[in-house]
Amino acid sequence: MEEQHLFFYYFLPFFSILPLLLLSKFLLLTHDKNHTNHPPSPPSFPIFGHFHLIKDPLHRVLQKLSLKYGPVFTLRFGSYPVLVLSSPSTVEDCFMQNDVSEDRPRLITGKIMKYDYTSSIAAPFGPYWRKLRRITTIEIFSITRLNTYLDIRQDEIRSLIKTLFLESVDHDDGFTKVGLRSKLQDMSFNIIMRIVSGKRNFGPELDDLKEAISFRDMITEITKVGGGSYRSDLFPFLRWIDFQGMKMTLLRLKAKSEALSDENGKKDGVSNKKMMDAMLSLHESKLESHSDQILKGIMLTVLLVGTDTSAVTIEWAMSLLLNHPHVLQKARSEVDEHVGQDHLIQEHDLHKLRYLQNIVNETLRLFPTTPLFVPHESSKDCTIGGYNIPCGTMLLVNTWAIHRDPKLWDDPTSFRPERFEKPVGEGYNYIPFGMGKRQCPGAGLANREVGMALAAMVQCFEWDRVSEKMVDLSEAKGLTMPKNEPLEAMCRTRESMVSVLSKF
């Protein structure tokens, strides 16, 4: 009886799945006969394909595979063929030469968090997507709109500097230790929330701090969930059993975001209705039904892509400056020369600070906010890198690998802002905001926010590491590749700026 029990326990499942293994092998062989000249691919398992390779951080795993199999290789995640690109020439083939790579795979995050694929990030490429893109680009991220929100950005950066000043001025012994991550997140969240709804989300005058913390936690959780969603997205049976509770987590986050959005929309005293008015223009653009969902989808997209990304970039930049004090000193000298010390830097001063912009560019090269492009999908058969790529293939571009390719960059892992004093190529070897028709429309807003915050922190304070040990630069899991350890630094108000900051 015990032997029979062992047989049923161990061998029956194997014989039950054996027909599926044979069928998958047959289908793969048939597929290979019908489509020749495929890119190279690592060995895989039947049915599961390369599931065993999906590990965090995924961009590092894919880079190691590209060193072995080349800048173009394929993986199979379950039944999903995936093409991985790790060179500028293949990216150019994909997005500039072939006009068939702008679709999106129908992933679970797009269905739930992007309102059944109706947001600009998840919507299929076509007339509907073009209309959404035009509205978001013109009404939210155009130069005219960015200029409209100038006072908001300036005000929130002043608030950040005021917070740091109050923490440091109370210490007579000079430097004081400050945690920067939460402060940078608060600033970034407030900028986006005031642009969207006219309401500050964080600050001493906030009535409901619990609501603010709930919103910030929601954004952080969404980025973490999105970064680990590949397993459930690419294997239908895992989605069916809700592997790791992914679906329930997303539904809970969606409900929380809608509740906060509805509550913000109902509150009185909103002083800035500009983006709300722009969103109402969707009703007049004759889009299809579910206009409320479309509005919420666009609003949530702006909140997601416009908050955590900027804060993460500033935190990486400050970490790099603390590890390279000579670069920090050079940036401070530039600010003192072109801005002075009799007033807080203004946004119109940014164009004078070329070295500071080089620091931002170099930070985005080493630590792009999205190390992998948001997945694309080929809508037709095409040729990329000399290989035949069938329709329906998911396309992953490894920005992180391209930015650190020694064939493209001299001493690629070193922090050297001076490299951007000269042109860095035709644009395909430096792609922090994506490529093609779906590249990030918020690059202008991000550059202004990151540049201003960084310049103000350099202008007003002296900075040092907490200890002689270098700041840890390891990355954590997530869509926006945050630092693994929140940044703490020693901060002291510059004597020359005390009188200016005291007026705050």
pLDDT in tens, 242-288: 455 555 655 565 565 566 555 554 444 333 455 655 555 555 555 55
State the Cα–Cα distance between residues 384 and 393, nearest whole angstrom: 12
Give pLDDT tens digits for 167-199: 887 666 689 999 999 999 889 988 988 887 776
Whole-angstrom distance, CA of residue 190 vs CA of residue 204:
13
Crossing angle of the two packed helices 443-460 and 325-338, in degrees rounded to 10: 90
DSSP-derived secondary structure letter, 478: S
What confidence tier does 6 reach under pLDDT thresholds 50, 70, 90?
A: very low
The edge-to-edge listing of strands for the beta sheet with 376-377 is 72-77, 80-85, 394-397, 376-377
157 vs 453: CA distance, rounded Å: 6
- Are 183 and 159 in contact, with CB atoms under 8 Å apart? no
Structure tokens at 8: 């049923």
Residues near 66 by Cβ (< 8 Å), separated by ≥ 6? Answer: 73, 84, 86, 398, 401
| DSSP 8-state secondary structure symbol assigned to residue 373 | P
Spatial distance between the Cα atoms of 465 and 320, rounded to a whole number of angstroms: 11
Select the CATH number that applies to the domain covering 39-502 from these four: 2.60.410.10, 1.10.630.10, 1.10.10.10, 1.10.150.170.
1.10.630.10
Rounded distance, CA 481 to CA 369, Å?
A: 6
Give the end-to-end CA distance of the chain in Å, rounded to a whole number.
83
Q: Which amino acid is at 24?
A: S
Tell me the HSE value of 70 on the side-chain side, using a 13 A CA sphere. 13
Question: Could you tell me the sign of the dihedral formed by the alpha carbons of 456, 458, 462, 467, in that order?
Answer: positive
**63 or 57, greater pLDDT:** 63
Task: Determine the average pLDDT of the residues in 84-92.
Answer: 93
pLDDT band, residue 9 (cuts 50/70/90): very low
* Virtual torsion, Cα 347, 352, 356, 362, nearest 10 deg: 100
Coil/strand/helix, residue 492: strand
Q: What is the pLDDT of residue 428?
A: 86
Distance of CA 361 to the CA centre of its chain: 15
Confidence (pLDDT) at 183: 94
Token pair for residue 363? Answer: 């930070």
Report pLDDT digits (tens) over 123-175: 777 887 888 788 778 777 888 888 989 999 999 999 999 999 998 876 666 89
What local confidence, expressed as pLDDT, does residue 214 receive?
Answer: 62
Rounded to an integer, what distance in angstroms lies between the CA atom of residue 457 and that of residue 318? 9
The pLDDT value recorded for residue 267 is 44
Contact, 73 vs 40, CB < 8 A? yes
pLDDT of residue 78: 73
Mean of per-residue pLDDT scores for the chain: 79
Cβ atoms of 452 and 155 within 8 Å: the answer is no
Q: How far apart are CA 49 and CA 82, in angstroms?
A: 11
Choice between 59 and 244, residue whose per-residue pLDDT is larger: 59
Quick one: what percent of the chain has pLDDT higher than 90? 41
| Alpha-carbon span 170 to 148, nearest angstrom | 36
Token pair of 501, please?
A: 């900051």
Q: 211-245, pLDDT tens digit by residue? A: 556 666 666 666 665 555 555 555 555 555 445 55
Strands of 102-238 (E only): list them: 176-179
Predicted local distance difference test score (pLDDT) of residue 353: 98
- Cα separation of 315 and 331, whole Å? 16
DSSP code of residue 103: B
Of 294, 326, 296, residue with least CA distance to 196: 296
The token duo for 330 is: 């050079």
Q: Which two tokens stand for residue 196?
A: 């969207």
pLDDT at 102: 74
Rounded CA separation 346/150 (Å): 10
Rounded to 10 deg, the angle between the 291-323 and 354-366 helix axes is 110
Nearest-5° Cα angle at 240, 239 to 241: 95
